[in-house]
Structure 1
Amino acid sequence: MAISEERAERRRRQKELADRLTASGALDEVFAQIDAGEPITGEGGLLGGMLKAALERGLDAELTEHVGYERGDAQASWHPNSRNGTSPKTLSTEVGDIELAVPRDRAGTFTPMLVPKGQRRLDGLDAMIISLYAGGMTVRDIQHHLNATIGTELSHETIAKVTDQIAEEVLAWQHRPLDALYPVIYLDAIIVKVRDGGHVRNKAAHLAVGVDIDGIKHVLGIWVQTSEGAKFWASVCSELANRGIRDVLIVCCDGLTGFPEAIAATWPEATVQTCVVHLIRAANRFVSYSDRKAVSTALKPIYAAPNETAAREALETFADSELGRRYPSTVKTFTDAWERFTPFLAFPPQLRRVIYTTNAIESINYQLRKVTKNRGHFPNDAAVVKLLWLAICDIEDKRARERAREKGLPANKRRAPGRLVEGAVTTNWKKALQQLALVYPERITPHL
């Protein structure tokens, strides 16, 4: 069914229900109160009153089934258990706080299912809080937003507990089993502020995206760098190996201290490739803005060279040029990174397009920076991982809903974005996999 037909059907059903309620007179009193200026949501709102009536009616029906007789039944005394008045309960909902009268039984055995004991919020409110948190709002921002929009006052601690409910889910995701082979893994990071002891300092939150044998991308994990260099990377590689990864062909990343050594210790045959886009950016760091385009154009023969020898000649040609003499730091950037850059030159063109950049992660990080920019700092490393995971899930869900709304439309009229990363298919993967199978036949073939 096309999206226009779905909307028309939804409008038809809603209009039919509205017309039926209006014709029955059930909404006359509601309309009268709206005309008199009564609020619809928030404290004293009509929706809150209607929800209160519906919940209390449902709770009363549950108690009727539990004690075995209707309210006012003349034979109530024949039953071993009986009604015993009500107890007050404040329930926070999407339309504001509701004061419920929860029915009780004399034996104290009644356990309501509609609003369970101990529950102080409807599930929809919890979902709203988590969605706002995933969108980048702080706990105090959410507290103010709920109070200002729906009149619900929740404490800082309550909102924090709601967001902490997904901590176990995050932990399970971070430790889920992985495939035995990922032909390509991309690694990149964003900088976040985290409280460490009595100080707030910058930390790198690293994201790893793996491309499986079918070319589908997966976020393998998120790690906040707690120590410098080899020790940290050794723990990350060890964790990935323990989760099932037995081999990695190519790891594409920016220059990271201790990372190549950790990779070599865990997957000795893996190739560590520096991100060429990062390398070009670093080479342009001290280049004046007016010359950056010319310098980038002059550098292209280096990373587009057919082999390492031709690339070395292109670098020497650039070093001897006017631009090279004007910006020796650009030449030094390539010279210092040469060992990490040259593995890229040994691969065929189709494979180069897949591994020459970490853009697969940079697109995620661009979205995540928008989420984290409003925060002063995070209380701990776990809070960073929780928010980044929630943000990725939230972005993917929003994009999925946009694609669902356009289902049935011709391809040239669809405007919804594709998957951000999780489940996305790598462009031209079949050709890249074919070339990988030629370069690494003994490592690829068992997994095909």
Structure 2
Amino acid sequence: MTQLQFNLDMDLLKDSIMNSNIETVVKSAIVLVLNEYMEKERDNYLQVGSYQRSSERRDYRNGYYERELIISIGKIKLRVPRTREGEFSPTVFEKYSRVDQALVLSMLEMVVNGVSTRKVTNIIEQLCGEAVSKSFVSSLTEKLDPIVNKWANRPLNVQYYPYLFADAMYIKVREHNKVVSKAVYIVTAMNEKKKREILGLKIDHVESFEAWQGFLQSLKARGLQSPKLVISDAHKGLKKAIEREFIGTAWQRCTVHFKRNIINKLPKKEMSQVIADMRRIFQTISCEEARLFKDEFIKRYEDNPKIKNAIEILEDGFEDSIQYFNEPETYHRHLASTNSLERLNQEIRRRERVIRIFPNTQSAFRLIGALLMENENLIVLNKRYTQRN
């Protein structure tokens, strides 16, 4: 770290202390320190002090200009030194930034955690006594782009993921002056030590085979190997993409979605015992026991015309819903459903309700990606994820 030695104008600092309130004193002290710091930075850049001659001189002094900086105690005005060629830039400012980095990080954290830009501007005004526009807050979030993009494109060949979880949800995005729905694709994984990780994020127009196939191909391009098992709902496009891109990989139908599909085919009244008997099928510990309870369920209710459609759904998707039994028993409760991913979707939805409509697709990718990075710890605490009935 570069160390600079400099002297302060103590008379000026004394006058500020004697004649001002404490807030002004603090501001004056900060201004004095930062102005002197920038002056010494220019000397170091030029490699020559004031009124000195040197063959190693890089440039010439060219006066000063005033520039405002918003910090946590309000706005201050600094005397920024400049050089003739204009290449010198003091480290106090990030290029084109008028807000100190701690405040920038605070604003970004508020946005990522679901605080609207309007509320952020109100909070900053109350804290600093200075107003910032909503567009300014929005522009600051663009600082997340390189961070999120690096995370979204990181290599996936550093370890093997035997189990993948895939799901999509819809958000509202403004596009060509219209509000449209777009699909948010998310894939998470669990390794053999039961540690979970978010592998990828994609935003596309609709949930389709082509979109899922392209997403899975992008994960493979980053080094993802074919897993043993993929857990998802029964979207036809996703199933087809899994078959095409992961040859030899088994597919597990999420039991929570599956049970919901069956219940939706039942009458609304007097079905509590039927639902309890159906759920019993998925509370077993082996394929054989599950098949036994399934056969008993069908035999008990096959003559009831009100339950015919539900039985058809059960028979059609049953084998796909018990594929997790082929894996070691210690993984069963983690692989039966996409509950862990659903919980992640809920976190996204909670923030999305604040925003309501994303201004564009890139802003949606940026915020959701930052949220996934921020909340990746939510899916590594695997003991909290238990199968929901």
TM bracket, shorter-chain basis: 0.7 to 0.9
CA contact (8 A) 2:226 2:246 kept: yes
Deviations 1:141-194 (A, max 9, x none): 433332343233334443333211221222222222113632110112333112
CA contact (8 A) 2:277 2:297 kept: no
Deviations 1:194-249 (A, max 9, x none): 22444323333122111124332110011224234211111112111111123211
Counterparts of 1:159 and 1:340, CA distance in 2 = 47
CA contact (8 A) 1:186 1:208 kept: yes
Match of 2:21 among 13, 33, 42: 33
Counterparts of 1:221 and 1:30, CA distance in 2 = 58
Partner of 2:315: 335
- Indicate whether 1:319 and 2:306 are aligned: no
- Indicate whether 1:277 and 2:256 are aligned: yes
RMSD over aligned CA atoms reads 3.5
- Indicate whether 1:306 and 2:287 are aligned: yes
Code of the residue aligned with 1:172 in structure 2: it is K
Aligned residues: 365
- Indicate whether 1:262 and 2:220 are aligned: no
- Identity level (%): 20
Partner of 1:209: 188
CA contact (8 A) 2:259 2:279 kept: no
Counterparts of 1:220 and 1:357, CA distance in 2 = 18
Partner of 1:231: 210
Deviations 1:259-312 (A, max 9, x none): 121111111101111110122233334668886764442113322263364254
Alignment of 1:84-103 (within 5 A): 85-103=63-81
Structure 2 unaligned blocks of 5 or more: 1-13
Shift of 1:32: 7.6
Partner of 1:37: none
Partner of 2:378: 420
CA spacing shift, 1:255–1:50, aligned 2, 3 Å: farther
Match of 1:364 among 335, 344, 350: 344
Shift of 1:97: 2.2
- Indicate whether 1:160 and 2:148 are aligned: no
Partner of 1:4: none
Partner of 2:7: none
Shift of 1:387: 1.1
- Indicate whether 1:189 and 2:168 are aligned: yes
- Indicate whether 1:177 and 2:155 are aligned: yes
Structure 1 unaligned blocks of 5 or more: 1-25, 35-39, 71-75, 397-418, 429-448
Q: Which moved more, 1:338-347 or 1:238-247?
A: 338-347
CA spacing shift, 1:167–1:299, aligned 2, 3 Å: same
CA spacing shift, 1:63–1:196, aligned 2, 3 Å: closer
Counterparts of 1:181 and 1:158, CA distance in 2 = 42
Partner of 2:99: 121
Partner of 2:116: 138
Partner of 1:7: none
Partner of 1:58: 37
CA contact (8 A) 2:265 2:309 kept: yes
Q: Secondary structure at the match of 1:152?
A: coil
CA spacing shift, 1:149–1:264, aligned 2, 3 Å: same
CA spacing shift, 1:384–1:118, aligned 2, 3 Å: closer
Match of 2:355 among 375, 378, 399: 375
CA spacing shift, 1:77–1:184, aligned 2, 3 Å: closer
Code of the residue aligned with 1:123 in structure 2: it is Q
Shift of 1:30: 8.3
Partner of 1:440: none
